[in-house]
């Protein structure tokens, strides 16, 4: 059963040796083509609905009354032909100093065959997973904000037979910026504590959620002609100990910091974006991660377009991932692509 959990519910860990096993992989799939194109960077550099996944605190500085987006990724195309991820996001301004956000994620893992040690098929079932979350962000002052979020989780798992597994998790995040002598240029930074919740009971196994601590710094600037340049750097620490135990949430998080070689266990994401006249965008980035923490190691590439109609705008983003490193030939990120459609209503600034 442990092997089944690794193969079915932990696609990003399939090719890692002695990897940390966590539940609900959809919580770790970025919901924005812009973010993936920039190496999955966004704690400080995320924009628009992308902020709901990376750092919801930043939505408190929303520049539109309403923002909505939909993203689609044919997930793990080099491993499976019927696995896909769909996400929806919506953010609404509240009194110009706060925002509420809603997000929905759906991961379709296709049909899964359960086999015995001799390879004989014991059963088949449709594996799927979803999460529905809500967030609230509030400005602390003109340059800083915080947010809290709760998320309902659902999954079709297999123990003695197919069954529905339900759970929940929560996030907290912080965001701040300072202007560089010009309102169009700023340094941004932030932090997030994500996916904090109880262990998932898969019969005889209890598996931790992918609890994560992330910090990020970014730069954004707009030239006089409207051209945009942005860059970001994120560091992530998985708050799950390498060896499974009966420790509670807090004890397990603290145990993850006592493991040797902490710097080597960090995930590093970096990316850049250039927007010609604020309409046509080129993006690139890189993600580097220890093989025992998921091996999510790839280059990200992407393009985007943003159109304007009075005080409203719409846009479309594309991304493509190029894996590298020792597992590049069999990486689940091989031939991975996707897109995001987005609309913004009512610019009030």
The pTM assigned to this predicted structure is 0.87
Nearest to 242 by CA among 224, 260, 225: 260
Identify the pLDDT of residue 81: 73
For position 74, which CATH number holds? 2.40.160.40
pLDDT bucket at 16, cuts 50 / 70 / 90: very low
Identify the pLDDT of residue 159: 66
Nearest to 296 by CA among 307, 304, 285, 306: 285
Least confident among 160-169, 172-181, 268-277: 160-169
- By residue range, what is the domain housing residue 22? 2-347
Per the structure block, which two tokens stand in for 93? 């301004």
pLDDT tens per residue across span 203-260:
767 888 999 999 999 999 999 888 999 999 999 999 988 776 677 888 888 888 887 7
pLDDT tens per residue across span 311-328:
788 999 999 999 887 654
pLDDT tens per residue across span 38-57:
999 999 999 988 999 999 99
Identify the pLDDT of residue 51: 94
Per the structure block, which two tokens stand in for 117? 């040690």
Number of structural domains, the chain?
A: 1
Residue 12 has pLDDT above 70, yes or no: no
pLDDT tens per residue across span 80-120:
777 889 999 999 999 889 999 999 999 988 777 777 677 67
pLDDT bucket at 20, cuts 50 / 70 / 90: confident
SS3 59: helix
Share of the chain above pLDDT 90, in %: 53
Mean pLDDT over each residue of the chain, to the nearest integer? 85
Identify the pLDDT of residue 268: 96
Cβ atoms 271, 231 nearer than 8 A: yes
B/e letters for 187-224, b = 16+ CB within 10 Å, e = fewer, are ebbbbbbbbbbebbebeebebbbbbbbbbbbbbbebee
């Amino acid at each position: 059963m442990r092997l089944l959990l690794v193969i079915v519910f932990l696609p990003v860990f399939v090719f890692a040796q002695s990897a940390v096993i966590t539940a609900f992989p959809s919580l770790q799939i970025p919901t924005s083509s812009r973010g993936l194109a920039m190496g999955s960077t966004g704690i400080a550099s995320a924009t628009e609905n992308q902020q709901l996944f990376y750092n919801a605190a930043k939505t408190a500085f929303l520049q539109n009354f309403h923002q909505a987006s939909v993203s689609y990724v044919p997930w793990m195309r080099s491993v499976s032909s019927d696995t896909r991820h769909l996400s929806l996001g919506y953010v609404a301004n509240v009194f110009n100093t706060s925002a509420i956000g809603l997000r929905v994620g759906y991961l379709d893992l296709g049909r899964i065959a359960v086999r015995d040690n001799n390879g004989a098929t014991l059963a088949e079932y449709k594996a799927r997973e979803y999460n529905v979350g809500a967030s609230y962000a509030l400005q602390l002052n003109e340059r800083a904000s915080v947010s809290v979020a709760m998320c309902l989780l659902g999954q079709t798992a297999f123990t003695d037979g197919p069954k529905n597994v339900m759970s929940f998790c929560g996030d907290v995040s912080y965001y701040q910026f300072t202007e560089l002598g010009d309102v169009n240029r700023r340094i941004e930074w932030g932090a997030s504590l994500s996916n904090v919740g109880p262990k998932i009971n898969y019969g005889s196994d209890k598996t931790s959620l992918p609890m994560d601590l992330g910090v990020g710094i970014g730069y954004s600037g707009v030239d006089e002609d409207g051209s945009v340049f942005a860059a970001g750097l994120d560091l992530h620490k998985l708050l799950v100990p390498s060896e499974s135990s009966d420790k509670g949430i807090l004890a397990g998080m603290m145990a993850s910091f006592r493991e040797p070689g902490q710097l080597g266990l960090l995930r590093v994401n970096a990316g850049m974006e250039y927007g010609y006249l604020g309409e046509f965008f080129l993006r690139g980035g890189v993600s580097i991660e220890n093989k025992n923490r998921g091996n999510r190691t790839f280059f990200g590439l992407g393009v985007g377009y943003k159109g304007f109609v009075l005080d409203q705008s719409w846009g479309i983003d594309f991304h493509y991932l190029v894996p590298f490193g020792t597992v590049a030939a069999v990486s689940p990120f091989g031939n991975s692509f996707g897109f995001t459609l987005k609309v913004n209503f009512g610019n009030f600034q």
